[in-house]
Amino acid sequence: MDDVDIDEQASRWPDTFEPERWAREQRRRRLVVLGACTVLLLLVIGVVGPAIFFHLEGAAPKRLSLPVGLGGTVGPVNGTWAVAAPSEVQYRVNEILFGQHHTAVGTTDKVHGTVTIKGATVTSAQFTVDMASVRSGAAGRDVQFRDSIMDTVAYPDGYFTLTRAIDLGRVPAERKVVDADAVGRLTLRGQTRTVSFPLRLERYGNGVDANGALTIRFGLWDIPNPSFVVARVGSTGTLDVLLHLVRTSD
């Protein structure tokens, strides 16, 4: 039945026309149409919206990997080494927004620290990361990361301290990648835990590059799960590290 004027409707069926029933039927039809349009709009938003958002954000950056690739004359390895540019620390978290999958990546180059090497052994290492400087390319995500997730006002830095020496067996040749295990104490959001993760080391020019990655289970560090109303993530994320070290003293 078309949506027509009530007087016109009454003139068509003068004996059987019921104005109240007719009005109820028209309201019902309008609600059905409105409901169908709403469902369609939500479907469009749920399917197309996240795709557009992720497209505008761009593809997730590649994972950090060796080598940094700075040249120079190969020198001795004994001594103290400092973190230098272009070192980076990166988090990676899988997001699901209205069924669309995406990897959120935040990166910072505000990394400081030192490493001591004697012979073929890494005897000590300490690193500090400025957590408030992490950026992902999405302002809203970065605000959530700094405030509710990592609370960088109360806990501005993340720390790692090597607690077990790393014996490389022999001093590696230039561009020779050596695999090892790093064991140490990691502090995030004020919580400290012992961690162990694979590490790759490479002499490249006059520097030493180190690359490692470890899985962070949010609950172990009292990190609130970063899920919110429309975007969901799992209970873990990945912390990637790529350090370029330069020798500062014997």
Domain boundaries, the chain: 6-55, 60-249
Q: Quote the DSSP letter at residue 250.
A: -
CATH class of 60-249: mainly beta
Burial (Cβ within 10 Å: 0-12, 13-18, ≥19) of residue 174: exposed
pLDDT digits (tens, 9 = 90+) for 22-68: 566 667 676 665 665 554 444 444 444 444 444 445 677 889 988 87
Q: How far is CA 98 from the centre of its chain?
A: 18
Residue 194: its pLDDT value, please? 97
Diameter of the chain measured on Cα atoms: 108
pTM score above 0.95: no
How confident is the model over 102-114, as pLDDT tens digits? Answer: 888 999 999 999 9
Whether 206 and 74 have beta carbons less than 8 Å apart is answered as: yes
Consecutive H or E run containing 183? strand 177-188
Query: Using one digit for the tens of pLDDT, what is the confidence trace for 190-245?
Result: 999 999 999 999 988 888 999 999 999 999 999 998 776 556 788 899 999 999 99
For residue range 96-154, list pLDDT tens digits in order: 876 677 888 999 999 999 999 999 999 999 999 999 999 998 888 899 899 999 999 99
Average the pLDDT over 167-191 and give the result. 93
Closest CA to 244 of 197, 207, 196, 201: 207
